[in-house]
Chain A
């Protein structure tokens, strides 16, 4: 096969979702047998780019995309995954698309079965032809063998280790005869270290046979290990295109994270001598965001950021301490009281409040008025907003109304009135209601998770300013979890980076992009070769 032939070209690719630009001017060209890595943070546009390449309906139902895709030098119009497959594009999905009750052969050959005629099919058409299992097994065996793994083609998928399922997915793709380009979407995210190693080896084998590989990931070490060329995306733009020989881990980390930081000016009143919350060996069983043992001291009056990539466990910390997911470990507040875990009422009673990352799922009563949303937690926990008649209680409607009107003004909640239901508010205004509810508890420590997710820029700034103001004026300690590193760096005193459920390290906001990038990718400790001290 001709190794210099360009099999895939994507020129000036752009995409706008509902008025928000998510991709701009992306250019890629990939040769046969090349392993091309696409590197970027969550939300950098990697998945959108692949959805375009694969003709996913989500792209075409939202107005298509800009630019052109060329395969083998001729322009193609890929408008459905089916078309993509016909053009020789294969994809190994992050979530496996396999049928558990079928054997490996059946999964590999699904909808591409080899059949032979029988008497009934001769009469009633070829839909009723017999499956040629001998031939199918042979093909499946060949595909598995080319990946150099030892599983039998007649094994059922159910019960296979995750790593093997991935291989079955790959085997299915390479069994397709016309396969030219194979896309791996974060393939190692769910694998153990040794499984990941096997996978990388298999990818090399595949590329040696002349198939081009597009490798989407945020793991820098894997990129350095196998990629020939590397494209770095950030905020929907292509920031760099490097050959492997010309770059190194640190540069890539820097490219991935680097961004203009607008530092919010604020009065720092951290009291480093007083620890308001000491977290010891916290483990939280939150599905998808598991925390596997974290030690962290939080100082009085600071805004501490908790960052990291999605799925690494940063979200789990606040949810665990607030008692929403089963957790173990020890959390000591103000150096004297130990918080009883797994008990939300207790957490609230100890002066903690939480603005959840899941605004619509946990943070709001969507069909209830703004004013009651704000008041309800304080009412149930601190007996506020109630009129007492002996053993009976009634709502204090005027109190609730006035309190809500106060917050409406202070936080600029845009609504038709505080009796409006929260479902119809915009994301930003919903977030303000959540914050108002947390503040009504008059907490000493405020957990805020993903405060700016899904809200527009103006509201973003207002939400962040509000947090800073609370910290400055009331001395409130704020623990802010966010996927947006830039946001953490603009308001926090310290930023703890969580990787694979553990604390990777704590950085100052003005530390270098490279340090942040390396920590998020989990490479920092390995590279720097020293334990990063917790309370530097």
Chain B
């Protein structure tokens, strides 16, 4: 019996154990405090779906040896452009959602290629460079949002040139996935379309990883010297990893936005990469290895913690902005903890 526990413990790893226990602790506290359980669980599942693809974007980057993709904002910006173009075209509902993705894809592929090329020039310090590549892109696009020639009154400032900081998706493609086939169990509402889309993305990623190309990417990431001796072009497969990661970032933000209900421009994409990194690390990935299971577990735990911590903090500390501060402490605390666990479990 104790041996079995030891095996499970080893498979799970200490970080995941601690976070799972903390998660369960918060769930208990929230129930004791009388916070509506069904609504809370709905939030947990919705956030799993809306953040999942952004976290999935880490997988191709990690396995192809670029490491954690702190440059995720690059992909996010491509996705935002796609979404804005779809509104500009005055599309509504699923067509709007699909058009956003179709516009974002080639853009993300192109940006991902350039980004991969850049990362090949800075082997060994990819993560640092990626972080700043992401930051720079966010600031560059802050100018871009001001000067791009979009006309639709829904997305531009009423009083002058440029796009709004937040653009509502009401009446466009808000909740198209969340509401597709959704059903209620008591006060718990299951966002069928969202979760299916997330799982489908995971499944496609899983298939890619099992293809000849996927194995080559894994080989390049696991041991570049070995890959060279096997006749693989290391740089090409790293670029492929960054293209895939950027594309997933673009699709991820569109899925995120349709659930969130708004497009957030300007500085908003800046730190979205960090949350995705933290989630995949908490899930058990490390700089060299990431699996789909790490993505699902990590997103669930990380977002679940945030969702539950906030109302709990609100109830415990009612004074003004203290809850918001607590939320920030918890978020960044988890990120910090995840980063110290970079070695990951096995």
- Hey, which bits of chain A sit against chain B, CB under 8 A? 322-324, 344-349, 354, 356, 358, 361-368, 372, 376-377, 379-381, 383, 386, 392-395
B210 touches A368 (CB 8 A): no
CA distance A314 to B210 in the complex (A): 39
**B332 cross-chain contacts in A, Cβ below 8 A:** none
Chain B residues near A361 (CB-CB < 8 A)? 223, 225
Give the residue of A322, A349, A379 whose beta carbon is less than 8 angstroms from that of B229: A322
- If over half of B's interface residues share one DSSP class (helix, strand or loop), that class is named, otherwise mixed; here it is helix
Q: Which of B219, B228, B288, B289 contacts A376 (CB 8 A)?
A: B219
- State which of B207, B225, B230 has its C-beta within 8 Å of the C-beta of A394: B207
Q: Cβ of B228 and Cβ of A380 under 8 Å apart?
A: no
Whether the pair A363, B226 counts as a contact (CB closer than 8 A) is yes
- Is B223 within 8 A of A364, CB to CB? yes
Residues of A within 8 A of B213 (CB): 393
Distance (whole angstroms) from the CB of B26 to the closest CB of chain A: 34
Complex alpha-carbon distance, A345 and B305, angstroms: 49
Q: Which size bracket describes the interface of B in this complex?
A: 20 to 34
Contact with A along B207-227 (1 / 0, CB 8 A): 100111101101100110110
B228–A383 touching, CB < 8 Å: no
Across-interface contacts of A383 in B (CB, < 8 A): 212
Q: Is B160 an interface residue (CB 8 A)?
A: no
CB distance from B335 to the nearest CB of A (A): 25
Nearest CB in chain A: distance from B214 CB, A: 9
Chain A residues, Cβ within 8 Å of B223:
361-362, 364-366
Measured CB to CB, the closest approach of chain B to A449, in angstroms, equals 11
Provided the pairs A344-B231, A377-B230, A380-B232 are in contact, do residues A367 and B219 lie with their beta carbons within 8 angstroms?
no
Decide: A376 and B215 in contact? CB cutoff 8 A.
yes
In the assembled complex, which residues on chain A have CB atoms less than 8 Å from the CB atom of B231? 344-349, 377, 380-381
Q: What B residues does A344 contact at CB under 8 A?
A: 228-231
Q: Are A380 and B212 in touch, CB under 8 angstroms?
A: yes
Please name the residue on chain B nearest to A386 by beta carbon: B212
In the complex, chain B residues whose CB is within 8 Å of the CB of A346:
231
Alpha-carbon gap, A377 to B229, bound state (A)? 9
Residues of A contacting B212 in the complex (Cβ-Cβ under 8 angstroms): 379-380, 383, 386, 393
Task: List residues of chain A with CB within 8 A of the CB of B288.
Answer: 367
Tell me how far the C-beta of B65 lies from the nearest C-beta in chain A, rounded to whole angstroms.
Answer: 12
- Asked if residues A354 and B222 are in contact (CB atoms below 8 Å), the reply is no
B210 touches A362 (CB 8 A): no
- Is the CB–CB distance between B230 and A376 below 8 Å? yes
23 contacts between A and B (CB under 8 A): A322-B229, A323-B228, A324-B229, A344-B228, A344-B229, A344-B230, A344-B231, A356-B229, A362-B225, A362-B229, A363-B229, A365-B222, A365-B223, A367-B289, A376-B219, A379-B215, A380-B231, A381-B230, A383-B212, A393-B213, A394-B210, A395-B210, A395-B215
Bound-state CA distance A368–B289 (Å) is 10
Tell me how far the C-beta of B213 lies from the nearest C-beta in chain A, rounded to whole angstroms.
8
Structural contact, B226 and A364, CB atoms closer than 8 A = yes
Query: Closest A-chain residue to B216, C-beta based?
Result: A380
Give me the 4 closest cross-chain CB pairs, A-B, nearest first: A345-B231, A344-B231, A393-B212, A377-B230
Q: Known contacts A361-B225, A372-B215, A394-B211; can you find 7 more A-B pairs with CB under 8 A?
A: A324-B228, A356-B229, A365-B219, A368-B222, A376-B219, A380-B212, A380-B216
Note all chain A residues with C-beta closer than 8 A to B229. 322, 324, 344, 354, 356, 362-363
Complex-state Cα separation, A259 to B163, whole angstroms: 83
Partner among B207, B210, B211, B226 whose Cβ is within 8 Å of the Cβ of A365: B226
Instruction: Return the chain B residue nearest A378 by Cβ.
Output: B230
Least distance between B237 CB and chain A CB atoms (Å): 10
A368 to B210, CA, bound (A): 14
Which residues of chain A come closer than 8 Å to B225, judged between CB atoms? Answer: 324, 358, 361-362
Residues of chain B within 8 A of A348, CB atoms compared: 230-231
CB distance from B116 to the nearest CB of A (A): 20
CA distance A365 to B216 in the complex (A): 12
